[in-house]
Structure 1
Amino acid sequence: MTKEEILQLSEKACKNTLMETLGIEFVDAGEDYMIAKMPVTSKVHQPDGVLHGGASVVLAESVGSMASYVFLNTEEFFIRGIEISANHLKSVREGFVYARASFIHRGRTTQLWEIRITDEADNLISLVKLTTIALPKEKK
């Protein structure tokens, strides 16, 4: 799949989902990585006006799961996140955050991703580890 095809597929998959609600947009993809961005507005703030850690985790799981979806044979499998852990290192109040998902392990059944969330100045905001699983679709 070309980068353009991956990004079109990702955009289509986000319609009427939490990703669309939060303004998550997939912006780049390569052979073993995918990047998404999310605007930091009051929609994703915690009460004191900074990016909510839960919104960061949604961004991370979205980009990691989408990367598994486009890099694996999803005609035969569907993808689910099975474990996620996040360390939030820095606060951000506005602008955009970017999540880059890179493979740590690319197995047939399980995939392990490192997702680095950075701000527009490339400061590390959160470091996330996501495990996804490819489950076989039922044969009809």
Structure 2
Amino acid sequence: MGAQDPEQIDGLAWVRERGLGALADRMGIEFTEFSARRAVGRMPVEGNTQPVGLLHGGAYVVLGESLGSMAANLHAGPGRLAVGVDINATHTASARTGFVEGVCTAIHLGRSITVHEIVVSDESGRRCSTVRITNMIKELP
């Protein structure tokens, strides 16, 4: 896994240094807790809606992928890169206002594959979407 154990790294400092990327920034995503095993982030509904005022289904997926891919990259360690190879989402409710929060939990942290589940809930705690992402870890050239 590289020179430093990912469990010993200050995850939020690592994220601040690396950045979340232009799309996550544009959507207003921010992380509030971060490690390879568990990551938590939030995103505003406003600005990320469908024409009918519901949070866009793709926005749930962007939040989930941001959390899961970043957690996989922390797990990968220096000199390695995690890239998404599969993502799926099941939407069970719709947020209209406020923020949604994603809680990302590692299901599998292997040497070459990671799997994370992200539960996205509205401000009342109602589950709106469940996202699962699989990342492949590879050596940087």
* TM-score, length of structure 2 as denominator length: 0.88
1:1-80 equivalences under 5 Å are: 5-14=10-19, 17-30=22-35, 32-41=37-46, 43-73=47-77, 75-80=78-83
Q: What is the alpha-carbon distance in structure 2 between the residues aligned to residue 70 and residue 36 of structure 1?
A: 16
8 Å CA contact retained: 1:38, 1:59: yes
1:103 aligns with 2:87: no
8 Å CA contact retained: 1:34, 1:63: yes
- Root-mean-square deviation (CA, aligned residues, Å) is 1.9
Q: What is the alpha-carbon distance in structure 2 between the residues aligned to residue 31 and residue 70 of structure 1?
A: 6
Stretches of 4+ aligned residues off by more than 6 angstroms:
none
Q: What is the alpha-carbon distance in structure 2 between the residues aligned to residue 60 and residue 136 of structure 1?
A: 24
The number of equivalent residue pairs is 136
8 Å CA contact retained: 2:101, 2:120: yes
Is there any run of 5+ residues in structure 2 with no aligned partner, and where? 1-5
8 Å CA contact retained: 2:40, 2:104: yes
Is there any run of 5+ residues in structure 1 with no aligned partner, and where? none
8 Å CA contact retained: 2:20, 2:66: no
Q: CA deviation at 1:13?
A: 2.7
